[in-house]
Amino acid sequence: MNKIVIGTKDHNIQYAFRETCFGIVEKNNEFYITLKDNDYSLIGGGMENNESHLECLKREFMEEAGLRIKSIKELCTIDCYWHTRSDVDMNSLSNIYIVEVFDEEYKPLEKNSALVKCTKEELFHHIVLPYQKEALKEYFK
């Protein structure tokens, strides 16, 4: 996978680390993202219990969006050093995939999460996390 680095690692900072997997879904000229606690995001999240990337994506897609994955294709890995809104120095290693989903939509398993369908223009307005914005730039190259 193509690796992109955002930010510069400062060796004087103790970063919190999180490895994640996210999917970009484009279907019928719409993009699928989630709305959770007033924040929009690509569908995905943190890896748990030695999951593979595919296992993580399958779990996150059902939890956050109520979608089943049909296929995935690697897009890029983004190693991002950034400062969160909650005042945490973070190193996110995000594995980004292009995801095809089945037509059936189910109720998301997480109560505070909802599937949102949007246009390309809305997508760039809604997504604010730096590594997710970079993933979208890579997708549209």
CATH number of the domain enclosing 103? 3.90.79.10
The pLDDT assigned to 44 comes to 98
Q: Is residue 116 predicted with pLDDT exceeding 90?
A: yes
Question: Residue 61: which residues within 8 A CB-CB, separation 6 or more?
Answer: 23, 43, 44, 67, 68, 69, 99, 101
pLDDT tens, 40-62?
999 999 999 999 999 999 999 99
The pLDDT assigned to 35 comes to 97
Angle at 40 between CA 36 and CA 43, to 5 degrees: 80
User: φ and ψ at 63, to 5 degrees?
Assistant: -65, -50
Residue 61 DSSP one-character state: I
Q: How large is the average pLDDT for residues 112-126?
A: 96
At 11, the pLDDT band (50, 70, 90 cuts) reads very high
Whole-angstrom Cα distance, residue 32 to residue 60? 13
Whole-angstrom Cα distance, residue 56 to residue 76? 16
At 103, the pLDDT band (50, 70, 90 cuts) reads very high
Q: How large is the average pLDDT for residues 18-44?
A: 96
Structural domain that includes position 46? 2-139
Q: How many structural domains is the chain composed of? A: 1
CA 83 to chain centre: 17
The answer to whether 36 and 111 are in contact (CB under 8 A) is no
pLDDT tens, 56-91?
999 999 999 999 999 999 999 999 998 888 999 999
